[in-house]
């Protein structure tokens, strides 16, 4: 349930932010540059997270994350360019703190053999938050004010963090303040890179996150530029979460045919549907329909969640490896807008869909390296 609420917190302003950025910055290219720059905060934060956990403890990281999200909400609700930029940076770092703490707590509490069943259930509850959040955020911003989705997101995030701390969700030896020399970020990054299964899990998660980054940033822009309006942008983002309700079904299917086959189909189908959006982009409703087909195909990928990482990581280095692994999200939020900014400096918006879809098709090849026993 906490994952459901956290997902809702994350996506409440998800449609509002790119639309507000487009209004302030004037073009999809400038929005891409904004998200590209802010993502450096996430990548840098992910690499120093084990060091921060070592010094402050996981309970403090939970609290820091909640405070950062609250600060970001205040800044982004002001409707001005500089506060938006700074607020986005706080938002990225705040959710990174909360996410790392949750990932480690999950690995401590769920047996490895149960992860393949647990992840689809977790993704299902997250889908509930994704289903409601984008539309609700747009509706609140239009009916109540720009500040309202940010305020609700901050209040809910603080409530979840407070509940997690009170319920002892973060209580573990890893959640205490460590003594002695902090771990070297370079050492555990090298350790991560030397493990092929961890590299594979990171690359596939990076591709999945990159696609969703594209969807949440450029779908609202596509809707606005096509004349479909802001409210429809929120509806489309919410509708894109509907197929995620099927992840328990896909999880059972993966148990029968194996994660390798499930992910191969998911990456290939998502890529083909996304490339097709560019071919029909002049017909906005058809383009939106194909984007929603892409979300249905991506739900096959989401059914696996982070199972590949959970099963590959060694128990004694969960915190260190989790901090490196979670950089896939920050790297996707950095790399995708960066590539798209370069494309948009030369081509029109449909080039984004071509590049995103082609990358998913290419990642299909990597699924052949997933162990058959998964």
pLDDT tens-place string over residues 47-91: 777 777 777 777 788 888 889 988 999 999 898 999 999 999 999
CA separation for the pair 232, 310 (Å, rounded)? 37
DSSP state of 245: G
- The model's pTM is 0.75
Return the higher-pLDDT residue of 268 and 227.
Answer: 268
Domain range annotation of the chain: 2-175+184-369
- Mean pLDDT score, 280-309: 90
What's the CA gap between 262 and 364, in Å, rounded?
11
Question: Does domain 2-175+184-369 match CATH 1.20.1250.20?
Answer: yes
DSSP 146-172: THHHHHHHHHHHHHHHHHHHHTTTT-S
- Nearest CA among 225, 304, 291 for reference residue 258: 304
**Greatest pairwise CA separation for the chain in angstroms:** 61
* Locus of tokens 């058809």: 286
First to last CA, the chain: 26
pLDDT tens digit sequence for 342-368: 899 889 999 999 999 999 999 999 999
Per residue in 106-158, pLDDT tens? 766 666 666 656 666 777 777 777 778 888 888 898 889 889 999 998 898 88
Percent of the chain with pLDDT over 90: 27
Q: Name every residue whose Cβ is closer than 8 Å to that of residue 251 and which is 6 or more positions away in sequence.
A: 116, 117, 119, 120, 121, 303, 304
């Amino acid at each position: 349930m906490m994952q459901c609420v956290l997902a809702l917190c994350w996506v409440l302003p998800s449609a509002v932010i790119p639309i507000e950025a487009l209004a302030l910055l004037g073009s999809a290219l400038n929005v891409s540059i904004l998200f590209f720059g802010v993502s450096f905060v996430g990548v840098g934060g992910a690499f120093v997270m084990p060091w921060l956990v070592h010094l402050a403890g996981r309970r403090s990281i939970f609290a820091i994350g909640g405070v950062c999200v609250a600060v970001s909400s205040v800044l982004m609700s002001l409707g001005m360019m500089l506060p938006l930029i700074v607020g986005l940076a706080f938002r990225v770092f705040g959710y990174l703190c909360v996410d790392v703490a949750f990932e480690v707590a999950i690995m401590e509490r769920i047996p490895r053999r149960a992860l393949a069943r647990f992840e689809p259930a977790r993704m299902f509850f997250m889908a509930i938050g994704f289903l409601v959040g984008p539309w609700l955020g747009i509706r609140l911003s239009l009916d109540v004010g720009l500040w309202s989705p940010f305020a609700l997101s901050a209040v809910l995030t603080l409530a979840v963090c407070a509940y997690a701390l009170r319920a002892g969700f973060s209580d573990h030896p890893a959640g205490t303040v460590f003594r002695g020399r902090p771990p070297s970020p370079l050492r555990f990054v090298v350790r991560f890179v030397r493990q092929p299964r961890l590299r594979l899990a990171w690359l596939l998660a990076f591709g999945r996150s990159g696609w969703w980054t594209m969807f949440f940033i450029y779908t609202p822009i596509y809707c606005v530029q096509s004349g479909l309006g802001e409210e429809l942008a929120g509806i489309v983002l919410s509708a894109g979460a509907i197929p995620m309700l099927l992840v328990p079904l896909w999880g059972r299917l993966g148990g029968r045919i194996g994660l390798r086959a499930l992910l191969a189909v998911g990456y290939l189908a998502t890529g083909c549907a996304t490339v097709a959006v560019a071919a029909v982009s002049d017909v906005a409703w058809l383009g939106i329909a194909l984007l929603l087909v892409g979300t249905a195909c991506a739900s096959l990928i989401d059914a696996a969640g982070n199972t590949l990482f959970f099963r590959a990581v060694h128990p004694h280095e969960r915190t260190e490896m989790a901090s490196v692994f979670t950089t896939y999200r920050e790297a996707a939020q950095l790399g995708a807008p960066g590539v798209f900014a370069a494309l948009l400096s030369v081509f029109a918006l449909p080039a984004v869909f071509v590049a995103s879809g082609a990358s998913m098709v290419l990642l299909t090849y990597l699924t052949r390296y997933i162990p058959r026993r998964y």
